[in-house]
Structure 1
């Protein structure tokens, strides 16, 4: 078993995927650990998959999973998680809005007993290097309030794309995941709470990416629908046994 798997869902990331992968590799190679980086190309219409494939020849730790059609971020992350071989498994957005160096904080939380370490922009001590627009920030706050009312997890920031899991927790939680879109983080954390896994919210550094794939007006109705489905599944209970 290797020490760490890094899962990166990627949809139309040709403009930055090589730089992000090189940053991750350079950082992890300074650590006395074995690792793999799994890019899940979620049906990209650009050359994301081609660029990653070209890097593999000189990047032994890199793996590519290609999904023929776009299935959603949740589906892509689950696919990578189920393939991961690491003792710890990190999910990270391709834009590295949370710098890879913040991994140390999540690993420390797990070493202190957590099963799931959640990078948080809302926890005390978080540093926002570049803020979202007023509109996106307030949409995010409203969404956070809504989800805490519908699906309480005890986590202030469920949607930050930087989370680390013990292997046992990742395999159990993602095998039960139903949500395939942007609300999947909420479901995973709700499942973790329901099943008794230890969750630690960790303040991190974060910078807004102007080219975020989340479009509030376009995606909000589908995300709200996903949240309601998650609540119904939790009520049913038996599906998550």
Structure 2
């Protein structure tokens, strides 16, 4: 019933829901090959669209999928829409909804070219008692359990031999996110959405977590434990007769699940060992900052990051301490995908459960593939995405209760990178010798010192993500 309900959500249907898509109540979706017709269609679609995004607006979230269907049905090459609405050096991108829709259309186009497959999607839940609700129930409500299902239903619609499932993993949430999610699943009668409980796995003595010191609850986990449990669960499933992929993402709607086609294409068509998204650092990445800012493309998507200098500093420290990750700018992007048969071998090497686990997971994956003889160009396919910031509930943003929250998070990640360096870089190696002064500083840097450094560096103006700091400058900013 749910598949049929959202099978063909058209622009016209969304007008009935109160969202203006075009001037008229519909338009013919005939094959089009002339720019004049394409320009007319695109103008109709763009008119009346908000500049920014509202992830709490169900109609707007569905509008992305409806417009993506219209783009595909138009008969116009996707590159034309990119050229017209992705912006450039002297041209701003189009409305964020339309930019997002073009990305979703590209994802579905690539997905349709694939053969049978199964996709397992994982996300962690902690403190999601607000975003899990509808907007009518809470101002920050995104209804993300239902909306993620709708986004995947749209991507998989009409695809024979392709199946999917969602594993929502509770990370010891004190606000009972798991019960809220289970109630929605029962109400909607979802057969392929399941809630896992990390605390149950710990209490049951799952050896994987006992080996990592998680023996008395989930307090040491900061998202990492929940995602790793989901990956462990998916990797433990019986082998399938079709290619099985496992991806993980964030619980909110910042990255649209309809983009999973890009991840599948990276592995099954491009032939990479894994795939991941990118929110900044390369062409066709877009950042949206609600409620007023639209889609900012590269490099503006970097400069407009609310934590820009912290991200630059994280990248600099990462390059110095973990040179094997040098070529990946957005290591923290929670939109990564693997073949199911590789997952257990990768996660068995991951030790951390905190906010920096994404980085270690990527490091372990790349090391595993390199050791297996995979050439560098086939290690990881990176797909640029549109990312919408969620300021209201983010763990990386300051709050009225904790204005220093972001400094604490990034300082902790700096400490974590130091621990990873000591774990993965051989003692006595040239890399270890070169990084020794930075390791000594990063190992114990407090969030108060980190904050002082960032504020001092910000006074000197914005820098590109790959800015090469002099270590003396870093130490001076801390004093």
Secondary structure of the corresponding residue to residue 176 of structure 1: coil
Identify unmatched segments of 5+ residues in structure 1. none
**Residue pair 1:6, 1:92 contacting (<8 A) in 2 also:** yes
Q: Of 73, 79, 90, which residue of structure 1 is paired with 2:247?
A: 90
**Residue pair 1:116, 1:165 contacting (<8 A) in 2 also:** yes
1:212 aligns with 2:394: yes
Q: Deviations over 1:79-131 (max 9, x none)?
A: 00010148111111011211112211111111211121111012222121227
Whole-angstrom CA distance in 2 between matches of 1:48 and 1:13: 6
Could you say which residue in structure 1 is the equivalent of 2:382? 201
Whole-angstrom CA distance in 2 between matches of 1:123 and 1:91: 21
Whole-angstrom CA distance in 1 between matches of 2:344 and 2:152: 23
More strand by share: 1
Whole-angstrom CA distance in 2 between matches of 1:177 and 1:17: 29
1:17 aligns with 2:132: yes
Could you say which residue in structure 1 is the equivalent of 2:276? 118
**Residue pair 2:273, 2:338 contacting (<8 A) in 1 also:** yes
Secondary structure of the corresponding residue to residue 146 of structure 1: helix
TM-score, normalised on structure 2? 0.47
Counting only pairs closer than 5 Å after superposition, residues 22-171 of structure 1 correspond to structure 2 as: 22-30=146-154, 31=156, 32=159, 33-57=162-186, 58-68=189-199, 69-70=218-219, 71-84=221-234, 85=237, 87-111=244-268, 112-121=270-279, 122-130=281-289, 135-152=306-323, 153=325, 154-171=327-344
Whole-angstrom CA distance in 2 between matches of 1:204 and 1:91: 15
**Residue pair 1:123, 1:201 contacting (<8 A) in 2 also:** no
Q: Deviations over 1:131-172 (max 9, x none)?
A: 796651221122122112211312111011111111123222
**Residue pair 1:14, 1:46 contacting (<8 A) in 2 also:** yes
Q: CA RMSD in A?
A: 2.2
**Residue pair 1:177, 1:187 contacting (<8 A) in 2 also:** yes
TM-score, normalised on structure 1? 0.90
Q: Deviations over 1:9-48 (max 9, x none)?
A: 1111121235112122112223132221111111112131
Identify unmatched segments of 5+ residues in structure 2. 1-115, 134-142, 200-217, 290-300, 397-404, 428-479
**Residue pair 1:192, 1:199 contacting (<8 A) in 2 also:** no
From the CA coordinates, give the structure whose radius of gyration is larger: 2
User: Size of the alignment, in residue pairs?
Assistant: 237
Q: Of 220, 234, 238, which residue of structure 1 is paired with 2:424?
A: 234
Whole-angstrom CA distance in 2 between matches of 1:213 and 1:228: 21
Secondary structure of the corresponding residue to residue 202 of structure 1: strand
Q: Deviations over 1:153-207 (max 9, x none)?
A: 1211101111111112322211211011111111122122222262122211111
